[in-house]
Structure 1
């Protein structure tokens, strides 16, 4: 799964990297993004790409209780095209979720060791995401989920799942404003190549979502 990530970048870096028009309202670097919190995402409205915040934890438009979002922070890419919660979103509501690293916890004899994982060849990257609008009793909520897949060879010793990270040249293809068959998008995700990853140990302060500072990403000195 993917349960925490970071976005240690300036607004200008993000605007330049994704060819966006600013400003990004209320943006600030984040060092311990957790489920239930706003995440920076990019969609295509049919005319241009737009950046904004979505709540992490998908609440489908048909849901009776928005609390379902806490159970839907991730969607398994292997079966999303078959699930009612995700199938129609794969067809028409795909988004980029911007990050510069994510955390995972590796089991050791001493307990679970948190690691910060980033890409070797670029600073900013995006997770493949799905989003939806929940609207009930005049209350609107925009939420999202991150697609995951089986871990690659690098991630296997750390965790058996990993987020789907889009290659740079596939990001625009993912959010293009065209309705696709969910099966086609399933094949798109399954065909994505592994991205080269790098990891290092960080402090257990990241275990608590209340901790939100640069100390979260500081390499742990043994």
Structure 2
């Protein structure tokens, strides 16, 4: 299904991941550990001449903006020429409101294999494809237990956007380990598929079967599945606590709750055991004195 993601990188880093300097709707930028419907999320899209994109200007405190990350700085140096090449492909970083509001409901995701069958989605098939940049996403199993899906690098999720700056995620049938959590999962893209996906001159039907929905792609073997604490269930919880594993959560609960109780009882028992011993010693001492 995919109704929550997390994205905590800054603008400079997102532009680096998108391999562009063009940005739009930057005022809507708000990274958190728990993004859901109606939140604004970053996406890569094709830029037209009249789309009102601006060239990003780095702030004076560039080092702070980059979180003083040597890894990111190294990426910038290594990929500078690649960034210039991607500019020619008219990539842009945009921020869209998650959820396509129709007359009847709010669509946050759609089945990619059914897109062509529904009149609602036909205007987006070729002209409105984009790619969400996420650090990972969350999913719930049938027991309503949350799981985190992530790798050691950003994930690129196939999506579509509207003229009203709305966005919805595309999903596919889950398989392998992912299907044990939920029967649907996002359509993930490889780095070299981004330009292909956002290119309006490439037909939707020309790429989804052979390329985009290929289950043998490397990305599928890189996504790790981790059971996390219930903090993420609350959309108002935006902190790093959303990434805490269930094991870490249980340890915290034990230490702060019943574990504290048992520790107190153990201390009391030790003191009670110690007191009779002390009194016995006192009696023996008095007897010897007599």
Q: Give the TM-score normalised by structure 2.
A: 0.64
Match among 109, 113, 119 for residue 145 of structure 2 = 113
Q: Quick one: distance in 2 between partners of 1:28 and 1:101?
A: 16
> Is residue 76 from structure 1 mapped to residue 111 from structure 2 by the alignment?
yes
Report the CA distance between 1:81 and its aligned residue: 1.8
Q: Deviations over 1:54-90 (max 9, x none)?
A: 111123xxx5x3x63x2x1111011112211212211
> Is residue 128 from structure 1 mapped to residue 163 from structure 2 by the alignment?
no
Match among 78, 82, 91 for residue 49 of structure 1 = 91
Query: Does the 8 Å CA contact 1:41/1:97 hold for their aligned counterparts?
Result: yes
2:9 match: 9
1:195 match: 220
Report the CA distance between 1:118 and its aligned residue: 0.7
Structure with the bigger percentage of helix: 2
Q: Quick one: distance in 2 between partners of 1:143 and 1:169?
A: 25
**1:85-104 matched pairs, under 5 angstroms:** 85-104=120-139
Find the residue that maps to 2:161 and give its secondary structure: strand
* Larger RCO (CA within 8 A; separation ≥ 6): 1
Find the residue that maps to 2:122 and give its secondary structure: helix
Query: Does the 8 Å CA contact 1:90/1:185 hold for their aligned counterparts?
Result: no
Query: Does the 8 Å CA contact 2:29/2:40 hold for their aligned counterparts?
Result: no
Report the CA distance between 1:26 and its aligned residue: 4.5
Unaligned runs of 5+ residues in structure 2 are 50-89, 251-290
Unaligned runs of 5+ residues in structure 1 are 134-140
Query: Does the 8 Å CA contact 1:147/1:164 hold for their aligned counterparts?
Result: yes
Report the CA distance between 1:112 and its aligned residue: 2.3
Pair member with larger Rg: 2
When the two chains are superposed, the root-mean-square deviation of aligned CA atoms in Å is 2.0
Q: Quick one: distance in 2 between partners of 1:75 and 1:28?
A: 24
Larger displacement relative to structure 2 (15-24 or 81-90): 15-24
Find the residue that maps to 1:117 and give its secondary structure: strand
Report the CA distance between 1:189 and its aligned residue: 3.0
Q: Quick one: distance in 2 between partners of 1:177 and 1:144?
A: 17
Report the CA distance between 1:106 and its aligned residue: 2.2
Q: Give the TM-score normalised by structure 1.
A: 0.82
